[in-house]
């Protein structure tokens, strides 16, 4: 029999909700106990080891501590998975990319000038600093999807992230499109895999799973304008989770050919 997979879960700046979603699949984890060893899971056990076959990381890189830890984690992990919106796309912390960073910092951190730990750095998803082998996006990530990834891992199957627009799952459910009801849904620009959870409950999609790799932002903006939505408000919505992606779509970084 093969050796058990050494699995770890580590956290940098985030709300810890992604980790929690992972522990919500306890039934699957129990079933897999003969195939995996949860060697690091600080939220649920006190004795934690290092060196991992697979390491899940939640949170974005938002402080020097985060960065040091992340670089260390990468060295310790054979396969690294970004768990959740912060690790995958930057999430709320990265809204700073569209603001004046110095001013934001002044407003928040100057209240505690003596605490060096609170010196932030520009907040980014983890792939900006290390190689990421797989992403489980979402705020929080869907526990069924996490369970699926665990199954694939122990089966040695290639992992596959859902890469179709939110509108697809929404249409498969025959939902009455929110755009046709005057509600500012961003589904056509965003990655699905959530089973159109928000539109299903008449709540517009704000893109917690990131923008599509080939999101047509220009047309998306025209669409929202045509439908009469306030452009500033729409940019705010679009960038709630995806400020960095938004910025890069607007102005692609030099290195990407």
Residues interacting with another protein, by CB under 8 A? Answer: 28, 31-32, 35, 148, 150-151, 154-155, 157, 163-165, 167-168, 171-174, 176-177, 179-180, 187-189, 212-216, 218-220, 222-223, 226
The DSSP output letter for 164 is: S
Q: Which one of ligand SF4, another protein, none interacts with residue 214, CB within 5 to 8 A by kind?
A: another protein
Closest CB 197 distance from ligand SF4, rounded Å: 10
Distance CA 12, CA 15 (A): 9
Which residue's CB is nearer to ligand SF4, number 93 or number 191?
A: 191
DSSP 35-75: TEEEEE-TTT-S-----EEEEEEESBEEEHHHHHHHHHHHH
Residue 178 binds ligand SF4, judged by CB under 6 A: yes
What tokens does 35 get? 């195939």
Residue 210 binds ligand SF4, judged by CB under 6 A: no
Residue 148 sits at the vertex; the CA angle it makes with 147 and 149, to the nearest 5 degrees, is: 90
Residue 224 binds ligand SF4, judged by CB under 6 A: no
Catalog residues that contact ligand SF4 under the rule CB under 6 A.
166-167, 170-171, 175, 177-179, 185, 187-188, 196, 199, 205
């Amino acid at each position: 029999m093969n050796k058990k997979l050494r699995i770890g879960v580590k956290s940098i700046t985030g709300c810890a909700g992604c980790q929690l979603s992972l522990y919500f699949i306890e039934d699957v984890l129990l079933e897999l106990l003969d195939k995996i060893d949860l060697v690091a899971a600080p939220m649920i056990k006190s004795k934690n080891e290092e060196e991992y076959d697979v390491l899940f990381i939640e949170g974005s890189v938002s402080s020097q501590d985060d960065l040091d830890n992340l670089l260390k984690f990468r060295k310790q992990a054979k396969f690294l998975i970004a768990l959740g919106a912060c690790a995958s796309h930057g999430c709320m912390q990265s809204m700073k990319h569209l603001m004046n960073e110095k001013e934001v910092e002044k407003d928040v951190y100057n209240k505690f000038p003596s605490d060096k730990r609170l010196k932030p750095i520009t907040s980014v998803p983890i792939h900006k600093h290390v190689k990421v082998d797989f992403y489980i996006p979402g705020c929080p990530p869907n526990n069924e999807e996490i369970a699926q990834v665990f199954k694939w891992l122990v089966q040695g199957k290639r992992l596959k992230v859902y890469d179709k627009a939110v509108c697809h799952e929404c249409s498969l459910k025959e939902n009455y499109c929110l755009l046709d009801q005057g509600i500012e849904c961003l589904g056509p620009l965003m990655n699905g895999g959530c089973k159109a959870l928000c539109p299903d409950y008449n709540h517009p999609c704000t893109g917690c799973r990131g923008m599509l790799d080939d999101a047509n932002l220009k047309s998306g903006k025209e669409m929202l304008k045509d439908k009469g939505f306030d452009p500033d408000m729409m940019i705010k919505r679009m960038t709630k989770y995806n400020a960095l992606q938004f910025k890069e779509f607007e102005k692609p970084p030099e290195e990407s050919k």
